[in-house]
Structure 1
Amino acid sequence: MKTLCAILLSVALCAPASYLTAEEVFQSGSPHLSDGFNPPTSFAELVKEVGGSVVNISVVQDDDASVAIGSEHALGSGFVISEDGYIVTNNHVIAKGGKIIVRFLGDKNEYDAHVIGQDAKTDLALLKVDAGKKLKPVYVGDSDKVQVGDWVIAIGNQFQLGQTVTTGIVSAKSRRVPSGGPYDHFIQTDASINPGSSGGPLFNTKGQVVGINTAIFTPGKTQFGGTGFNIGIGFAVPINLAKRIISQLKKDGKVTRGWLGVLIQPVTPDVAKVFGYSSPHG
């Protein structure tokens, strides 16, 4: 065996060197893109247009007299979907109950909101405020047309700092959350999402809402409204699903789902006797 190895090595050393050029190994040129790659240089105009439709949400204990610093027990974001004050957010933002306070960008007033309906399964909730004026609703896009690699913009009340804008791309679609959650077909994005972002909108570059920022994945666990920090893996509920859910919440205050109506039970001796089984197995 040693002799064979030595012979092979000798042949290899004596053979003339032969190399492939880079052109023979790698494909030259560039992908065929319809308009080439023209990333936006600024989202300022878009943010100016849609920012007034995004709200900060605080939930306080019912016996708190005001929203003093430290009195909130839940913080989140939301967005206006109608001129008469309907607002969409995440269910986990308001699920524990309490007084819901809504603030608008550039408006020092606080508005009480009440819950129209909520759906824990999709983590969505519909609120209503009476602002005494017409509000500016968002434009809604088509999340089915979102593609991996598309630019997206997230706006929300991160860490109670006030309205914060972050950008990124769609990292994946129909993503299952690794540690489980109320819904399993998220849009994944690397736009920075942190505590306080929950319920805020995810916009495309046309200024249309394509998702609702809901959760982040952090080392050790998945965050649904809990503490944590962003590592570039965030999840948003697709707006096409939200449209169906919110429509039901507005109409009925809840979501009614069909069920099969089948029960499963062990085959006991009595069941086996009724069905004529020879033994109680199955």
Structure 2
Amino acid sequence: MRLKILVPAVLSLALVAGAASNLAAQESRGLADALSDLLRGGTPSEEATRRLPFGREEVQLSYAPLVRAVSPAVVNVYASQQVQVRSPFSGDPFFEQFFGRRQLPPRAKSSLGSGVIVDPSGFIVTNYHVIEGADEVKVAMVDGREFNSKILLRDESLDLAVIKIDGAEPFPVAPLGDSDALEVGDLVLAIGNPFGVGQTTTSGIVSALARTHVGVNDFGFFIQTDAAINPGNSGGALVSMRGDVIGINTAIYSKSGGSIGIGFAIPSNIVRAVVEAARSGNDFFERPFVGATFENVTAQIAEALGMARPTGALVQQVAPDGPAAKAGLRPGDVVLAMNGAAIEHPDALGYRLATQSIGSMSELTVLSQGTERTLEIELARAPEGVSSAEIIIEGRSPFAGTKVASLSPRLAQRLGLRGQASGDGVAILEVSRGSPAASFGLQPRDIVREVNGEAIETPEKLREIAMSNSRWWRFTIERDGRLMNQILRY
């Protein structure tokens, strides 16, 4: 449902600034003439910028109809998980000698956030960090009804998750709008449940678009707004004046945790793609694969390439036989636009790619050796690799208690490993609690590169070495792009 609502802030920006000395003269000039001056680039007269409202109707303008239409689809999300409590005397030889090893009962850990119903059958979008590690997720509607839910999809790199509730359909829905149509200065409302005090609405404007590296997650294409966003607003709706959800609120930029006028939201166009993936039955959001890595164009690189300013995504590596190679993309090329939309940096390219469907064709505008050219590229599914088998490592090695698999572009995407275009190494998928691997600090998403001087290329190779009777272990793992070397006697 699209609402056509006249809101007070539209007039207050240019018209309702104070009392005028001659109201009759202002009314004769009229609002249309003043706005015409602005559109022509002229400067409005003092009479046009300072006047009283035309009448009682203007004074009574309100956001209330817009809030009434959207707020029923904004819900509270309660997530809880059982956390094992460690005794403060655990590991103390004296205590354990007299009292034994005492296991404390698990403690319930809960988190609170917001969500938005985007489908009448009960699909809800929220933030990943709201439901992270949750054993149980409950949803409370604005009318007081509560529902259990199940997690359908979660994506840590985007900080998005899709959950579903079952109940009396159809549920109220907030439609997803077109975030690409936003402009800086557009009016927006933020609706959520800050601090757990109940549903709250705040207003503001779009402060900036395509904000990157705000420390929220790996995603680098945020809408910035000055609408107050506080803890608990996470997962709530950023709403346009048409009544569309154009973003999912995700973070505030504040050391104190309180709103300071800088908030961020994930654009609705990427949210729509994630919801469609959940509808299709996928438990993770699969991005199109291009078979290339990109980096920023610095001022020095731009000067060397003869560019007027640093912009675009510089092609760093191109995988053989991948979509990029087949399209003719080469290392050193600069991607300037995709499907007509300007590409300012690699994160913008990643955003544009993620909003496209797998199997579709896209048009890239590329600067290659000083000449602009246009390429057609097919957005393919990430390759699975030689084997998708998952193996559990047993025994007494430092890797005992891990579930591992061969690293492939598809698995790297699923684990949120950025820049992994090749299938080298073995990735750790899970680490059992209390296992030797957990005690030695191994973590999911670690990539095992080498053990005892032998390169690890398959899970079978890692299992073979892990089952040996060695007491000394030398291994190299990659974590968050950094290589870490360990030497253990075990």
Could you tell me the TM-score, scaled by structure 2's length?
0.42
**Would you say 1:214 and 2:250 are equivalent positions?**
yes
Whether 2:39 is the aligned partner of 1:32: answer yes
Q: Partners of 1:62 and 1:112 in 2: how far apart?
A: 17
Aligned residue-pair number: 222
How far, CA to CA, are the matches of 1:83 and 1:33 in structure 2? 45
Q: Give the alignment partner of residue 131 of structure 1, picking from 142, 149, 167.
A: 167
The gaps in structure 2 that reach 5 residues or longer are 1-35, 42-47, 84-107, 290-408, 410-420, 426-448, 450-490
Deviation for aligned residue 1:190: 0.4
1:253 counterpart residue number: 283
SS in 2 for 1:61: strand
Equivalent residues of 2:205, 2:225 under 8 A apart:
yes
Equivalent position of 2:199 in the other structure: 163
1:182-224 CA deviation, whole Å, 9 max, x = no partner? 21110000000010000111000011000000011014xxxxx
**Which residue in the other structure is 1:99 paired with?**
136
Partner of 2:119, secondary structure, is: coil
How far off its partner does 1:111 sit? 0.7
Q: What amino acid does structure 2 have at the position aligned with 1:46?
A: L
C-alpha RMSD of the superposition: 2.9
Report what 1:77 is aligned to.
Answer: 114
Partner residue in 1 for 2:182: 146
Q: Please, which moves more after superposition, 175-184 or 195-204?
A: 175-184
Residue aligned with 1:31, SS? helix
Query: Do structure 1's residue 234 and structure 2's residue 263 form an aligned pair?
Result: yes
- C-alpha spacing 1:180/1:97, structure 2 compared with 1 (3 Å): closer
Return the alpha-carbon distance in structure 1 between the equivalents of residues 37 and 109 of structure 2: 53
| Counterpart-to-counterpart distance in 2, 1:240 and 1:195 | 24
Whole-angstrom distance in 2 between the partners of 1:82 and 1:168 = 26
The 3-state SS of whatever aligns with 1:193 is coil
1:140 match: secondary structure: coil
In structure 2, distance between residues paired with 1:62 and 1:181: 25
Flag the 1:84–1:75 CA change in 2: closer, same or farther, 3 A.
same
The answer as to whether partners of 2:248 and 2:268 remain within 8 angstroms in 1 is yes
Establish whether residue 47 from structure 1 lines up as the match of residue 73 from structure 2.
no
* Percent of residue pairs bearing the same amino acid type: 38
2:227 matched residue in structure 1:
191
Q: TM-score, normalised by structure 1?
A: 0.72
Letter in 1 for 2:139: V
The answer to whether the 8 Å contact 2:228/2:259 transfers is yes
Q: Is the 8 A contact 2:195 2:231 kept in 1?
A: yes
161, 173, 184: which one pairs with 2:209?
173
- Letter of the aligned partner of 1:256 in structure 2? E
Residue 156 (structure 1) shift: 0.3
Q: 1:87 to 1:33 in 2, by over 3 A?
A: farther
Q: Which secondary structure state, in structure 2, belongs to the residue aligned with residue 248 of structure 1?
A: helix
